[in-house]
Structure 1
Amino acid sequence: MHNPPLALYIHIPWCVQKCPYCDFNSHGLKSALPEKEYVAHLLDDLAIDAKRVGDRQVDTIFIGGGTPSLFSAEAMADILTGVKERVNLATDAEITMEANPGTVEAGKFAGFYQAGVNRISVGIQSFQPQHLKVLGRIHNERQAENAVKQAHSVGLPTFNLDLMHGLPEQSVANAIADLKQGIALNPYHLSWYQLTIEPNTPFYSRPPELPEDDILWEIQEQGHALLEAAGYHQYEISGYAKAGHQCRHNLNYWRFGDYIGIGCGAHGKITDTQNGTIHRTVKVKHPRGYMEISRPYLDTENQVEAQDLPFEFFMNRFRLVEPCPIDDFTALTGIAIDKDVHNALSDAEKQGLLHITDRYWQVSAKGRRYLNSLLSCFV
């Protein structure tokens, strides 16, 4: 069993208002933002987790939310300075921060870049007023375009646009128009994913009318062709990037890498090679509880059971277009390919969902289209 690459996820839980489709741990801001207090707790949380990873190098950082761009550039600088004091951060670390166009005034990206952020992910979702309203987004088309222009102007080495499709009452032409507008802004990376209705969201209790399956498939077919023609190559289910601009942090997730998770409700995955085990951690979810000094930051920790490891490995690894070296399975899970796993792989191959050679597994085009069917082979 080998130690995989290590990443750090930092969760900022606040946003201006909660979007009706969002099932992330986010909280609408009702009072002043407790920046200094929260940053101090984040760094104390990290100091505890840092003891578990020793001098292992942290290759990427992702600051997600919520809406991290509500924080000041000074707060981001304090976070990243504190991180460098507590863990062995790679000199070429990719450091990503999510941003909402409605919270980024002129010049703010320059401050984040100066603070150490070298990759911004701009959550646009749509450029069209009717869809922005339904999705509960606080920005408009002009703010979205201005945010992207800022990202270009400050010299960020790479940045991402987040766009959604399959929106309520969306037509094929409408979805492709959104995508064309995103491509025209010339980002280095585009996350283009389908809206799904998640439990415990307003959309789940009051479902909007979504496009029929044939429309959704036509959107995906046309959108994929458009992105590829524009030089954005698909490397995972919803990730498209220009050459050299794949999101390294996300790649670490999908390659079954390790990650420390700090902040409210943050999840982590840590490999213990000495004991041959993998542990998943979850931090206290609510900001009040998380910042209560008498409580530990850790809410739950569970060792992943051996019988669950194959599904967990393939659920992540088969999101990627790239082939998966067969040797990675045992190296990263600590278990051998037994009869059940072998039979599941063979079944997936017979269904045309997977290509198998003596060195690697690779999801087929059919497997990417029917990913849930592929994963069901391992349940």
Structure 2
Amino acid sequence: MRPGLLQLASLPPLSLYIHLPWCLKKCPYCDFNSHEVHSNGSLDDQLESSYIESLLADLNQSLPLIWGRTVHSIFIGGGTPSLFSPAAIDSLLSQIRARVKLSADCEITLEANPGTFEKDRFKAFRAAGVTRLSIGVQSFNDVHLQALGRVHNAAQAIAAVHEAAQCFETFNLDLMYALPGQTIADLERDLQTALSLSPLHISIYHLTIEANTYFAKFPPKVPEDDTAYAMLDVMSEKLANAGLNRYEVSAFAKQDHRCKHNMNYWQFGDYLGIGAGAHSKISFAHRLVRQSRYREPQLYMQKAMSGNAVAQDDDIKHKELAFEFMLNALRLKDGFDSNLFHERTGLAISSIQSALTQAIEKDLLIQTPKSIKPTERGFDFLSDLQEIFL
């Protein structure tokens, strides 16, 4: 290993992210690395098989980076991972278990869309070893779903959630707000429907117009910022009243149902990412490394099979460590233990005391001898708070 400036006493928990890049239809707001399938709305068997083979080749090449370490969570994201057959997911997870040690309570999440839902499909994913489903509902309003370019309707979304509740002990619903033409009354109806399904975890996302998307070229009329802030307040209050407590900027959960995988991200843990466009952050005793894979699926598969799936591999610069940590950890409503900063960065908390003091003076942060967390104001103006640590 190349010598570095860091001195980590121990390595953080390790997660595995797997990117499955295909979807039925590219949504007009989506800037993720997702690609439409072109075979009658289903994934070609040969493509599915070849991609799984490429993922395993990628993992094999990465094993020296994580040798001897335990994986505490797996997240299969996309794209629409539920386009892959349960048999393919079963095979993939079995092959992963043969290569790396999983913790006894390893959380394994699969993203699924109601548009790919079939009766008993979720049950088969559960049998394959998936422990947690994340369902991309986005809305229960057919007009809004159509405006978002979704391939499912409200009835399909409700049916998918009912099926998930029967198969999984925990599951997540994704909801979006500040949608084209959406009113606060519309949002309240979405929330009422969502809560009637007794979810244990809900993630909420403000519709933002991202560059290089259809919406960027043809922007829809969306609610004003003041209305969007009011929508967030409504959601926070109603979800809290239902026992879903906000623990991260976009995440609400019942007791013991927080997403372990995402918590590891926010606490500056390690993650190995395999699949087209996947990112990694891996710690060593004296340095931290970031990697990214080739984005285009066919190129990724070609590179993975030839032993070189990594497009970029860089050490995180020493001067960037504090900001990288704070960028993530300040997303947590309860903040973080002061010792965690040193454990994950190798830096003394005193190295950022000037920025901490500035944030405290602006009523954006609370610091005690043992912890650091955003104030209500800091949580509402998170970008301003994070910027102080640049």
Report the TM-score, using the length of structure 1 for normalisation: 0.97
Structure 2 distance, partners of 1:46, 1:294, is 13
**Candidates 8, 11, 15, aligned match of 1:7:** 15
> After the TM superposition, which segments of 4 or more aligned residues of structure 1 sit over 6 Å from their partners?
none
Structure 2 distance, partners of 1:198, 1:303, is 28
1:350 is matched by which residue type in structure 2? E
Structure 1 distance, partners of 2:299, 2:350, is 43
**Candidates 167, 175, 196, aligned match of 1:163:** 175
Instruction: Give the superposed CA RMSD.
Output: 1.1
Aligned to 1:41: 54
Cα displacement (A) at 1:338: 5.1
Structure 1 distance, partners of 2:235, 2:55, is 39
1:279 has 2:285 as partner: no
**Candidates 79, 87, 92, aligned match of 1:66:** 79
Query: What is the number of residues matched between the two proteins?
Result: 375
Verify the 8 A CA contact 2:338 2:349 in the aligned structure 1.
Answer: no
2:268 partner SS: coil
Aligned to 1:251: 263
2:311 partner SS: strand
What residue ranges of structure 1 are gaps of 5+ in the alignment? none
Structure 1 distance, partners of 2:319, 2:208, is 29
**Candidates 118, 133, 152, aligned match of 2:146:** 133
Aligned to 1:110: 123
Structure 1 distance, partners of 2:225, 2:129, is 43
Verify the 8 A CA contact 2:290 2:314 in the aligned structure 1.
Answer: yes
Cα displacement (A) at 1:355: 0.3
Structure 1 distance, partners of 2:214, 2:348, is 43
2:356 is matched by which residue type in structure 1? L
Structure 2 distance, partners of 1:118, 1:102, is 21
1:287-326 aligned at under 5 Å gives the runs 287-292=297-302, 293-294=305-306, 296-326=308-338
1:343 is matched by which residue type in structure 2? S
User: How has the CA–CA distance of structure 1 residues 295 and 83 changed in structure 2, closer, same or farther, with 3 Å as cutoff?
Assistant: closer
**Candidates 377, 380, 383, aligned match of 1:366:** 377
Structure 1 distance, partners of 2:254, 2:370, is 27
Structure 2 distance, partners of 1:309, 1:200, is 29
Cα displacement (A) at 1:101: 0.3
Verify the 8 A CA contact 2:287 2:316 in the aligned structure 1.
Answer: yes
Cα displacement (A) at 1:309: 1.0
Aligned to 1:352: 363
Cα displacement (A) at 1:134: 1.2
1:291 partner SS: helix
2:211 partner SS: coil
1:191 has 2:203 as partner: yes
2:205 partner SS: strand
Identify the range of structure 1 (33-42 vs 97-106) with the bigger mean alpha-carbon deviation: 33-42
2:55 partner SS: helix
Aligned to 1:122: 135
Structure 1 distance, partners of 2:281, 2:82, is 26
Report the TM-score, using the length of structure 2 for normalisation: 0.94
Cα displacement (A) at 1:295: 6.0
Aligned to 1:376: 387
Verify the 8 A CA contact 1:126 1:163 in the aligned structure 2.
Answer: yes
**Candidates 114, 121, 126, aligned match of 1:101:** 114
Structure 2 distance, partners of 1:324, 1:284, is 33
1:199 partner SS: coil
Aligned to 1:53: 66
Higher relative contact order (CA 8 A, sep 6+): 2
Verify the 8 A CA contact 2:329 2:335 in the aligned structure 1.
Answer: no
Identify the range of structure 1 (30-39 vs 110-119) with the bigger mean alpha-carbon deviation: 30-39
